[in-house]
Amino acid sequence: MKRTLATLSVLLLAVSCGSDSESTTDPGDTSDVVVDVDPDLFLEGTTVTTVSLTLSDGTVADCYKVVAGSPTDHEMGPWCPRNISDGEEAGGIWLENGEVYDVDGAFVANMATFYGDDTWHMYDADGDIYVTETEQDCINAANPNVGDAYRNFCVECIPDYVSDLEQTWYIPVTPVRQSSPADFAAMGPGGSGPAIRGIAFNGVEFSASAPVDNILGAHTLAPFDDAGGHINVHQGYHYHAATGLSTAVTQSDGHAAMIGYAADGYGIYEQRNEDGSEPDDLDACRGHYDDARGYHYHVDAPGSNNFINCLYGAYAN
């Protein structure tokens, strides 16, 4: 179901573009229950095999190698509406200051007011919105140093551009608890930490935060679709928000549904439990422990442009 303009209450090798986390407090002994990754939860369209790899703590462990392309459980897009008269069904969503907004024609027409900047004007005299139309346009407009030719464009990279692209992720079969968390922000550009936060059951990555400041600074807009995802030609399709459209595994006790695994093999669950409450004992990584699921994470709110803040387990090097 589409979001509205009103307020609305996710590595495995490479580099993080980071989300800040505060100093963490170990939530206590969580060694009683450790839940292995269940390869059967990954959907058709993914390939899962077992390999032996060195983890970030120096130990060697069995890991699942997950190879996937495009999601099989929901459609991708749309992203950019074509005219300022278009309704919400013609475009995707945008994340701003914790809120989720529909990118419909009215949103595009109102951007100068929304951002308090008269430079925004993404449409012509007929109300037609400037949208990238080719793969090269997509690449050029997504460049942090985008030139004037692409300013005030809605950037839309379509599935055809990455139809042959496969991504490979590695996650430990059995999570290995560490004494302190690995902070994404502290790893920094060029570091050895994970580039992304985890993986959905459809094989799509829960990505690091989208570089919103760079996008807006060039007076471009790169919307996400209703599932919280968009495309670039190097990364393929990836998520920046958990909006409830990818496959979720319901829990029998009213706990939030499970939506995938973090880079360290711990489960990732929706933000809120079935009764609408968010757990009140989450640590700084957005994780906590219970006897049914062991240690696990809950994703941040959809509008936050964030999934989890750090990893409490070892990850594949």
pLDDT tens digits, residue range 216-234? 988 999 999 999 999 999 8
C-alpha dist (Å) from residue 171 to 80, 294, 295, 315: 34, 17, 16, 7
This prediction's pTM: 0.88
pLDDT value of residue 227? 98
Q: Which two tokens stand for residue 213?
A: 């400041």
Contact predicate 36/174, CB 8 Å: yes
How confident is the model over 187-205, as pLDDT tens digits? 655 555 677 899 999 999 9
pLDDT at 143: 75
- pLDDT at site 188: 53
**Terminal CA-CA length for the chain:** 38
The one-letter amino acid code at 8 reads: L
3-state secondary structure 152-191: CEECCCCHHHHCCCCEEEEEECCCCEEEEEEEHHHHCCCC
Query: Residues of the chain whose pLDDT is less than 50?
Result: 1-26, 28
CB 289 within 8 A of CB 28: yes
Task: Confirm if 241 and 95 have CB atoms less than 8 A apart.
Answer: yes
Residue 7: the pLDDT is: 32
Report the b/e string of 262-286 with b at 16+ CB within 10 A: bbbbbbbbbbbbeeeeebeebbbbb
User: How many residues can be counted in the chain?
Assistant: 317
Q: What is the pLDDT of residue 16?
A: 31
